[in-house]
Amino acid sequence: MLVTPFEADGRIDLDTLAHLVHTMDSWGLAAISALGFGAEALSLDRQERAVVGRTVVGAAGRLPTIIGCTAATLHETLELTRDAADLGAAAVMVAPPTQERVGGAEMIDAYVKLARMVQPVTVMIQDAPRWSTFALSAQLVSEVQHQAPNVTLAKPESTPAADAVADLAQLGTLAIFGGAGGLHMLDQKEAGAVGVIPGCDVADVLNGIYTLHDEDPDAARALFERILPLLVLQFQTLESFVLASKLILVERGLIPSAKTRIEHPAFGPSTRRLLLLHAARAGVIPARMSDAESENRECE
């Protein structure tokens, strides 16, 4: 999941965003995703989301793009879904609304409506009960699929993580992708997931581990254990995930600023030091900074 980089004045840094997409492409990733919860999409207005989507699709070229379309209400979600399809997204990712409370039948109708509206664009159903108002069951997803055949992808982020994947995998009709920043990546893979959508700051490392798991599960587990402390620190909350991802991207020289729009408590010196230490131990950044240097780095 791409972050949304911002200038010091809060404007979206589109040049940096395009550079990030090119970097992800050079890492050999299978697709690019943008405008999810971890991209601070809910802090952007409709026009800004369209600009981000257009930039990502344009920079990605032939690399498939998955554009998040979740919003506060179903009406807004439908508008954003249409926008993403018009921009050329290969797939749209949609979770239930974050503020409007809906029932099961209404949610099924909404998914079917938006899926039919964007055909033949693929629809990814995202189950994110921590950040939306509705938890999606495998039965509900199955009912949607029966009426909308272009719903072929799912990203479950409910818990227990492996069970959430296994329940959907039993349907036999979905390609399932893990989320939660990659925190449960290998457990979800072994439960039936075919991929993962992690933070872009560690996507190259996790992609290598995921691929290695096909050939040598034990070796992949050993490498995953090296990066797990970093993922745990990052994903304490959605807000900490966003900030930690951006701080690592700054350290990697991929974005100039870790500025965010979401409200979050600043990381103190201890957390900043641990973040860089865990990232270095996992091979995400070079092990070259002293504790004093890392503590003195500032987030705008």
Domain of residue 145, CATH code: 3.20.20.70
DSSP string of the chain, one letter each residue: -----B-TTS-B-HHHHHHHHHHHHHTT-S-EEESSGGGTGGGS-HHHHHHHHHHHHHHHTTS-EEEE---SSHHHHHHHHHHHHHHT-SEEEE---SSS---HHHHHHHHHHHHHHHTTSEEEEEE-TTTSS-PPPHHHHHHHHHH-TTEEEEEE--SSHHHHHHHHHTTSS-EEEE-GGGTTHHHHHHHT--EE---GGGHHHHHHHHHHHHH-HHHHHHHHHHHHHHHHHHTTSHHHHHHHHHHHHHHTTS-S----SS--PPP-HHHHHHHHHHHHHTTSS-S---HHHHHH----
CA distance 278 to 285: 9
Which residue matches tokens 């033949």?
120
pLDDT at 296 over 80: no
**Residue 278 placed within a domain:** no
Average model confidence (pLDDT) for the chain?
Answer: 94
**Residue 203 placed within a domain:** yes
CA distance 223 to 206: 9
CA distance 221 to 88: 37
pLDDT at 32 over 90: yes
pLDDT at 246 over 90: yes
Q: 33-42, 64-73, 98-107, 169-178: which range is least confident on average?
A: 98-107
**Residue 243 placed within a domain:** no
Q: 38-52, 132-146, 196-210: which range is least confident on average?
A: 132-146
**Residue 206 placed within a domain:** yes
pLDDT at 295 over 50: no
Structural domain of 81: 14-214
pLDDT at 270 over 70: yes
Q: What's the pLDDT tens digit per position in 124-137?
A: 999 999 898 788 99
| Averaged pLDDT, 233-258 | 96
**Residue 111 placed within a domain:** yes
Which residue matches tokens 């693929």?
122
CA distance 58 to 53: 8
| Averaged pLDDT, 2-28 | 97
**Residue 293 placed within a domain:** no
- Structural domains of the chain, count: 1
b/e burial code for range 142-177 (CB count within 10 A of at least 16 → b): ebbbeebebbbbbbbbbeebbebbbbbbeeeebbbb
**Residue 91 placed within a domain:** yes
**Residue 176 placed within a domain:** yes
Q: What is the pLDDT of residue 292?
A: 41
